[in-house]
Chain A
Amino acid sequence: MTWAALLLGSLLPLAGEAPHFETEILPLFTRVGCNAGACHGAAAGRGGFHLSLFASDAAADFEAIVWELEGRRVNRARPEQSLLYLKPTGQLKHGGKKVLGEREGETLLAWIAAGVPRGSPRRLTSFRAFATPEIITSASRETRLRALARFDNGPEIDVTTSALFTSPDPSGATVEAGATIRAVIHRRGQHDLTVRFLDRVEPLRVTFPLGDKAVNLASEPLSNLVDAEVIQTLKELRLPVSPQASEAEYLRRLRLDLTGRLPTPEEQKLFQQDTSPEKSKHLVNRLLQDPEFAEYWTLRFSRMLQLRSLPNEKEGVAAYTKWLRVGLEKNMPMNQWGKALLNATGDSHEYGPANFHRMANDPRAEAELVSKIFLGARLQCANCHNHPLDRWTQDDYHGLAAVFARMERGRLVAVGARGAVTNPRTSEQAVERIPGVRNLNGPSGQLGEFSTWAVSSDNPAFPRAMVNRIWQWMFGRGLVEPVDDMRTTNPATHPELLNKLAEDFVRHGYDLRHTVRQIALSRAYGRSAAAVPGNEADNRYYSRFTSRPLEPEVLADAIADVTGVGHRFANLPERTRAITLYDPLTPAPSLDILGRCNRVGACQEPAAAQGLAAKLHLLNGDLLNERLASPASRIAKGIEEGRGDGDLITEVFQRALARKPSLEELQGWVKKSPGEKSPQRKEFFEDFLWALLNSREFNTNH
């Protein structure tokens, strides 16, 4: 049976009838690419012919095909003379050249010959796609792809050949059509394919294990809900795990992630001496209650919400930062927090969250910000056309913008009496709408209705987006990346884990600290960054901890702490910590060179202080050199107090690396020292400390 015959045969209930417009003709256009963004699916169409992107609007497509240009595109009397047939079969000049095969052309002709029937609308009630097998272990590196659909709750039928299977990354996997549709895997690992059928877009994951031999992870304990799926995925991928990190490493890692600071030598000693079997738990709880946690996570929230001062106005960003910090200190449940943000009005210099609305210039920009935070989604594409890879439509985008249309964004934030957003699709005033859910038709106060929905159990996207961000803050990488681009076609590395963490977060009252604690106490978080044979390249499956550079503010503070010489930023008090600079416009050249986020756009992952300019700054710049040379430095004081080489070296190791030097290290460095009487001693220690503060063990969290 040929491939096109399969297409016809596959929709058995229709055999003998004219091809059905919505479920056979439009999918055919989708499959060969007619309605893709690069062709007639572009917002302005192509060559004067516009189709909705990926057949998202069947009624409009029918109109365009059958009625536009006085119906010139189809010739019912002589179907083979239809433009709709002549162009894509290459018989008439066509910018897209010949795209339809013979059998496809016949399907099209059959439909035209039947009088271009619109056909009764058939509603797709279920759709699923799967690979057999999902995990490929055979040498053929192939797996068969299938898609099943149900219309109007009728019987499930095979729609494999009408569905469009694509691989976003052809170097990893390709889709091959022959007697069957197969995925051919070119590279080991997980591959996420996309399946498109009518208005559905679904992901389909196929795995080709990273190793040839199964790994035994049965003895690997599971601390909590985090570990189950992590281990399951590692088994599937055949990745061996690294052992747990040492206590000293864990303390340093956790202290950096929870408070943006290094542990002091005293703290290290206390933790080491603690003999309780629950010492990690106690440590996590203690750090979560420390005001330093709220202080540091305020910075993370400020980046997420893009806090920055407006021209000639510092008061707003100060009030906003304070509100965020108090909320974190009091552990305000995140659903209440979200609602307060969305509904905030009033004097933005006094009432912090009112500034939320001021971080966007207009309703559309606010819709984009709101969708990032509360939907974990990027709605931008849907400004001009329905989102090609997601369910968002133009009505959704402009409908959400309309919710904020009356917002007055001056110092006094208020919902005004006027303001509207035009939906370019209809050229009419956009109807206020919860994206993807329903229109808001109440007489007024749609903002209240939207905000109630946004943080309710009706919006599972919000907790998912929040826990994904928390995960990223703890591991340097979200389960979904980028964190504000969550959609079915961009699946999580661990989809079930994301679901479970989100459910757990909701069940515990949207408690941020609870989720942080779950992650911090997992085996996955506790693993060593040291590689074992077989997991050297892993950076996303948690077979080992992925070390990452300290973010600019944390690095600058750590340098100040280790050297003992604090910062002086602009006209702020001495010893101000970089992580507390609430306005990204506060002058701090060192931080900018190291890659401080300007918070104008989203800085998803804190920039790494790693490029050539950053290295040059650490080599020649003042951030480090001034502190090393300062007579007030810890080293200068230690020398003045007559402390021995070993003593000083040990302290520096502890402050910077949160561990004591090994005997070999200690002896090695003492030997290099010019001696306790030498006039070169201070210079030696400056150079020693300079090297330590540029070392990978210091400038990464590992």
Chain B
Amino acid sequence: MNGKMRQVRCDGASRRDFLRVGTLAPLGLTLGSLKLRGSNQAKPRAKSCILIWLDGGPSHLETFDLKPGVPQDVRGPFQPIHTAVPGMDLCEHLPKTAQGAKRFSLIRSMTSPLGEHGLANHYLLTGYKPSPVLEYPGFGSVLAKVRQEKSDLPANVAIPEWRNIGGAGFLGTEFAPFTTGGDPGKAEFRVRDLDPFPKVTAKRLARRREFLQEFDKVRAGIEKNAPSDPAFEQAYRLVTSPTARRAFDLGEEKDVVRASYGSRLIGQGCLLARRLVERGVPFVTVMNTGWDTHNNLTLQLRDGYAGAKTGVGLIPSLDLAFSSLLEDLHQRGLLEQTLVVVMGEFGRTPKVNIAGGRDHWPRVFSVAMAGGGVRGGQVIGSSDRVGESPQDQPVTPADLAFTIYTLLGVDPRLEMHTADGRPIQVNREGSLIPGLV
């Protein structure tokens, strides 16, 4: 919590300020030197990022990297369909996503050595392999730390929960994702504890805060730590702001918009994410669980429940959520400044196991990225014939992190500091994914 950023803070969300952070980086590596393609692309465009996290490890072979021409035990249950982009065939249960293929790009050559959920979560969500001596912060926490925006809304939100490591790490709970709780897919959804308790008026809240500061001032002098609790201050601003609370109110959306995203948690979560980035929240994670499909791919990925006539499983729900999010962001002119990333911690084994599922497979998997400066309609890298290893252009989670940070205007070589003063770079081992931006 005492980690200090050596950098000049950039308080506004303007592009110029992002560049300043980069230019002043201690190692002298500027964003300009990052050899982005073309002059207009040398400037980061993404103000915000929406991460659709497919928790458990989505099967690349059933979503973004199907292998139709191989034996049944590798191929799996689904067929590919063409998209407007040659070579970018997708799963037949992603038809809406396929229609908008030009809006996003796929990386089919992600590779990592870590095949256990906890370790892989940490690597994918932070860009650092787990270390026994330090827990690294996730993207949203780093962004919150770097931006230091004094907004009434939290800078890093997870819908509805944050289940993984790769939270704030050494940056401390101040920068941890704020979790909404509840299920945005349910009609009665309210963000937990956002509304004041009965009879506790704004005046009383102010008095409580003043009293609290009086207590903490004394303790801070003794233990030599921060005079006020930043998490409390954030909570206070969120509750007392006249507009902040409305950002979480899905009831303000038209029914037709709500319906387009699909009624499941992932869809309504993405809609909520759009409302938040629209209001300047830098990082929103939509946590979609259930992708650890060790058995029955068809039931879990397509159907959702036994005997379903129309599939409401993980893939059709992702299809509605992802395609509508891109369309909606595009129509509102927000796509160019909003980076959207769809990923999980690893892929699944090329061979279907005896339970009709697939097990963990980190050696190759796929990630989808859109908006925020990503050039859409591309396939970066490929996996081999059976989706077992990267065939070309291997991309590590560190490279992915480097790229995400760069697009968001955070110099990957920027140093942050742990509580005991260790300087840690935002990203250490990565480099920019060639051809993506």
B355 CB–A CB distance under 8 Å: no
A323 CB–B CB distance under 8 Å: no
B423 CB–A CB distance under 8 Å: yes
CB-CB contacts of B187-225 with A at 8 A, as 1s and 0s? 000001111110110001101110110111011101110
Complex Cα distance, B165 from A601, in Å, reads 12
Apart from the given pairs A490-B132, A531-B224, A629-B197, 18 other A-B contacts in the complex at a CB distance below 8 Å: A42-B113, A169-B422, A171-B423, A171-B424, A384-B115, A530-B222, A531-B222, A537-B420, A593-B193, A601-B118, A610-B231, A612-B178, A612-B238, A615-B235, A616-B193, A617-B193, A620-B200, A696-B229
Which 9 pairs between the two chains have the least Cβ-Cβ distance? A691-B211, A695-B215, A615-B235, A625-B197, A612-B178, A531-B224, A691-B212, A610-B173, A616-B193
Contact A611 to B116, CB < 8 A, known contacts A616-B193, A694-B212: no
A184 to chain B, nearest CB (A): 16
Complex Cα distance, B371 from A492, in Å, reads 47
Instruction: Using CB atoms, name the residue of chain A closest to B228.
Output: A696
Contact A617 to B192, CB < 8 A, known contacts A172-B422, A593-B181, A696-B216: yes
Contact A611 to B214, CB < 8 A, known contacts A537-B421, A620-B195, A687-B204: no
CB-CB contacts of B24-40 with A at 8 A, as 1s and 0s? 00000000000000000
A474 CB–B CB distance under 8 Å: no
B364 to chain A, nearest CB (A): 12
A620 touches B239 (CB 8 A): yes
11 cross-chain CB contacts under 8 A: A37-B113, A42-B113, A531-B222, A593-B181, A608-B173, A611-B231, A612-B238, A616-B193, A620-B194, A687-B207, A691-B211
Please, which residues of chain A bring their CB within 8 A of the CB of B305?
none
B367 to chain A, nearest CB (A): 20
Complex Cα distance, B211 from A490, in Å, reads 44
Complex Cα distance, B121 from A166, in Å, reads 25
Contact A619 to B212, CB < 8 A, known contacts A537-B421, A613-B193: no
A609 to chain B, nearest CB (A): 9
Cβ contact of B205, chosen from A187, A611, A613, A619, cutoff 8 A: A619
Complex Cα distance, B118 from A601, in Å, reads 10
Contact A615 to B424, CB < 8 A, known contacts A42-B113, A490-B132: no
Cβ contact of A622, chosen from B116, B197, B199, cutoff 8 A: B197
Complex Cα distance, B216 from A625, in Å, reads 20
Complex Cα distance, B234 from A688, in Å, reads 20
Complex Cα distance, B154 from A683, in Å, reads 30
Contact A529 to B223, CB < 8 A, known contacts A38-B113, A171-B423, A625-B200: yes
Most chain B CB within a 10 A radius of its CB, from A37, A529, A695: A695
B422 touches A171 (CB 8 A): yes
Complex Cα distance, B266 from A10, in Å, reads 62
Please, which residues of chain B bring their CB within 8 A of the CB of A601?
118
B66 CB–A CB distance under 8 Å: no
B234 touches A615 (CB 8 A): yes
A687 touches B220 (CB 8 A): no
A619 touches B132 (CB 8 A): no
B208 touches A615 (CB 8 A): no
A189 touches B420 (CB 8 A): yes
B231 touches A612 (CB 8 A): yes
Complex Cα distance, B413 from A171, in Å, reads 13
A168 CB–B CB distance under 8 Å: yes
Please, which residues of chain A bring their CB within 8 A of the CB of B113?
37-38, 42
Instruction: Using CB atoms, name the residue of chain B closest to A532.
Output: B224
Contact A611 to B193, CB < 8 A, known contacts A695-B215, A696-B229: no
B192 touches A613 (CB 8 A): yes
A485 touches B178 (CB 8 A): no
Complex Cα distance, B175 from A612, in Å, reads 9
B384 to chain A, nearest CB (A): 12
A691 touches B223 (CB 8 A): no
Q: Which of A536-556 contact B (CB under 8 A)?
A: 536-537, 539, 547
A380 CB–B CB distance under 8 Å: yes
B179 CB–A CB distance under 8 Å: yes
A616 touches B235 (CB 8 A): yes
Q: Which of B57-81 contact A (CB under 8 A)?
A: none
Most chain A CB within a 10 A radius of its CB, from B211, B220, B236: B211
B219 touches A619 (CB 8 A): no
B131 CB–A CB distance under 8 Å: yes
Q: How many residues of B contact A (CB 8 A)?
A: 54
Chain B residues within 8 Å of A, Cβ to Cβ: 2, 113, 115-116, 118, 131-134, 154, 173, 176, 178-179, 181, 192-197, 199-200, 204-205, 207-209, 211-212, 214-216, 218-220, 222-224, 229, 231-232, 234-236, 238-239, 363, 419-424
B419 touches A613 (CB 8 A): no
Please, which residues of chain A bring their CB within 8 A of the CB of B179?
611, 613
B208 touches A690 (CB 8 A): yes
Please, which residues of chain B bring their CB within 8 A of the CB of A612?
154, 176, 178, 231, 234-235, 238
Please, which residues of chain B bring their CB within 8 A of the CB of A537?
2, 419-421
Cβ contact of A619, chosen from B116, B235, B363, cutoff 8 A: B235
A482 CB–B CB distance under 8 Å: yes
Complex Cα distance, B231 from A18, in Å, reads 66
Complex Cα distance, B196 from A384, in Å, reads 52
A620 touches B212 (CB 8 A): no
Instruction: Using CB atoms, name the residue of chain B closest to A690.
Output: B208
CB-CB contacts of A478-496 with B at 8 A, as 1s and 0s? 0001100100001000000
Complex Cα distance, B130 from A380, in Å, reads 14
B90 to chain A, nearest CB (A): 28
A695 touches B216 (CB 8 A): yes
Please, which residues of chain B bring their CB within 8 A of the CB of A172?
422
Instruction: Using CB atoms, name the residue of chain B closest to A617.
Output: B193
B111 to chain A, nearest CB (A): 10
Most chain B CB within a 10 A radius of its CB, from A171, A189, A622, A668: A171
Complex Cα distance, B218 from A692, in Å, reads 12
Complex Cα distance, B214 from A601, in Å, reads 39
Please, which residues of chain B bring their CB within 8 A of the CB of A189?
420
A697 CB–B CB distance under 8 Å: yes
Cβ contact of A613, chosen from B178, B209, B212, cutoff 8 A: B178
A696 touches B211 (CB 8 A): no
A702 CB–B CB distance under 8 Å: yes
B197 touches A621 (CB 8 A): yes
Please, which residues of chain A bring their CB within 8 A of the CB of B238?
612, 616
Instruction: Using CB atoms, name the residue of chain B closest to A530.
Output: B222
Complex Cα distance, B179 from A611, in Å, reads 9
Most chain B CB within a 10 A radius of its CB, from A44, A187, A615, A625: A615
Contact A613 to B181, CB < 8 A, known contacts A171-B424, A620-B194, A625-B197: yes
B215 touches A691 (CB 8 A): yes
Complex Cα distance, B234 from A248, in Å, reads 33
Complex Cα distance, B363 from A608, in Å, reads 35
Contact A619 to B223, CB < 8 A, known contacts A171-B424, A612-B154: no
A696 touches B220 (CB 8 A): yes
Contact A536 to B224, CB < 8 A, known contacts A616-B192, A620-B193: yes
Complex Cα distance, B216 from A529, in Å, reads 15
B110 to chain A, nearest CB (A): 15
A619 touches B222 (CB 8 A): no
Q: Which of A463-489 contact B (CB under 8 A)?
A: 481-482, 485
A539 touches B223 (CB 8 A): no
B236 touches A485 (CB 8 A): no
A698 to chain B, nearest CB (A): 8
Q: Which of A77-103 contact B (CB under 8 A)?
A: none
A539 touches B192 (CB 8 A): no
Please, which residues of chain A bring their CB within 8 A of the CB of B118?
601
Cβ contact of B178, chosen from A384, A611, A625, A695, cutoff 8 A: A611
Instruction: Using CB atoms, name the residue of chain B closest to A610.
Output: B173
B417 to chain A, nearest CB (A): 10
Complex Cα distance, B197 from A687, in Å, reads 13
Complex Cα distance, B238 from A694, in Å, reads 17
Q: Which of A647-702 contact B (CB under 8 A)?
A: 668, 672, 683, 687-688, 690-692, 694-698, 702
Please, which residues of chain A bring their CB within 8 A of the CB of B2?
537
Complex Cα distance, B238 from A384, in Å, reads 47
Q: Which of A445-465 contact B (CB under 8 A)?
A: none
